Chain A
Amino acid sequence: MFIWFHKLASPPYFYKFAGVLAPWLAWLSLLVIAAGLYGGLWLAPPDYQQGDGFRIIYVHVPSAWMSMFVYMVMAVAAAIGLIWRMKLAHAVSAAAAPLGASFTFIALVTGSLWGKPMWGTYWVWDARLTSELILLFLYVGYMALNHAFEDRRTGDRASAILALVGIVNIPIIHYSVKWWNTLHQGATVFFGPRAEMPPSMYIPLFIMIIGFMVYFAAFILKRLQVEVLQRERNTAWVRELVAKS
C-alpha cells in the first residue's frame, strides 16, 4: 500500500493513473447527479413554506459545501507542498483552485436566485453571503498569484501562503449563521426528533453532494494531468510521451 502511494507520487505514473480513472469518475458523477436531480426536482414533495422554490437547495447546498471542501483540499495540499516540498502537492492546489472558484460562483448565484423570492432581495451584505464572496476572492487571488511569477516555484510558494492564511475564512463561513444575526437560514437539522426534513427531501440532497464530490474527483484528476504536463515539460518521460502520441 505504501509503495503504491509512493509510486503514485511519481509524475509519469500519476499521469497515466489519472488518465485512466478520470473518465470513469466523470461518467459516474453524471449518473449520480442525474439520480439526485430526479429525486430532488421530481420526487421530493414541495416545501410547506417555500413551495417548489426550495428546490434550488439541490444545487445550492452541494455547491456551497464543495466551495469549502475544495478550499480545504487546496490549503492542505499547499501546506504539504510548503513543508515537504512535494512537487505534486502544489499541482493539486493549482488544479483545485479553478474548481473551487466555480463551485463558489455557483453557490453565490443560486443563493442569490433563491434569496429574491424568499427574502425579497438578490443580495444583502450579511455575514454568510459576505464571507462566501470573500472565499471567491481568495480563489481568484490564489490563481492570480500562482501565475504572477516568471518562476513557477515562486508562484507556488507565494500562493500557498495565501491559501493557508485564507483558511481563517472557512470557520467564519460555517459558523456565520450562528455567530451573527443573518438573513441566511441556519443549518438544517436532518435527523432525530427535531428533524426539519423528511427523507424524501434530504436523500436527494445527499445524493447530489456525493455526485458533486465525484465530479470534483474526476475533473481535478483531469486538471492535474495538464498541470503535471506543464510542470514536467522538459523531462525525459514527457518527451517520450509526446514522441509516442
Chain B
Amino acid sequence: MNSWHEFLSMGGYAVYVWPAYGTALVVLLANAIWPGRQQRALLKELRRRSLPSEERPT
C-alpha cells in the first residue's frame, strides 16, 4: 500500500473487504464486552439476595 486512498479502496474490492473486517470487529467486540457485564450483573444480583429481606432494595 502506498497511500490511504489505495488502502481504503482495496483495489476496487472495498465493498467486500471492509464489511468482512467490520463483521469480525463487531462480533469480537461484543464477545469482549458481554462477559464482563454479565459478571457485574450476576454479582449485583447475588449481593441483593444475600441481604436479609427487609434490607433489600426493591
Contact = CB atoms under 8 A, between A and B. Distances in A.
A209 to B, nearest CB: 13
A59 B22 CA distance: 10
Interface in A90-145: 98-99, 102, 105-106, 109-110, 113-114, 116-117
A106 B36 CA distance: 22
A98 B31 contact: yes
A52 B17 contact: yes
Q: Size band of the B side of the interface?
A: 20 to 34
A53 B10 contact: yes
B1 A242 contact: no
A226 B34 CA distance: 10
Contacts of B38: 226
Given A53-B13, A225-B39, 20 more contacts: A42-B1, A42-B7, A51-B12, A52-B10, A52-B13, A53-B11, A56-B20, A59-B21, A59-B24, A63-B24, A106-B23, A113-B20, A117-B16, A219-B35, A222-B39, A223-B35, A226-B42, A233-B46, A243-B50, A245-B43
B16 A102 contact: no
A52 B12 CA distance: 8
A243 B19 CA distance: 46
Contacts of A99: 31
B47 A52 contact: no
A200 interface: no
- The number of chain A residues touching the other chain, given as a range, is 35 or more
Contact of A117 (B13, B36, B42): B13
Contact of B24 (A41, A110, A116, A245): A110
B39 A56 contact: no
Contacts of A59: 20-21, 24
A8 interface: no
Contact of B16 (A26, A116, A226, A241): A116
A113 B16 contact: yes
A56 B21 CA distance: 8
Contacts of B39: 222, 225-226, 229
Contacts of A109: 20, 23
A241 B1 CA distance: 52
A109 to B, nearest CB: 5
A60 B36 contact: no
A102 B28 contact: yes
Closest 10 CB pairs of A and B: A52-B11, A53-B13, A222-B35, A110-B20, A52-B10, A51-B11, A113-B20, A242-B46, A113-B16, A223-B35
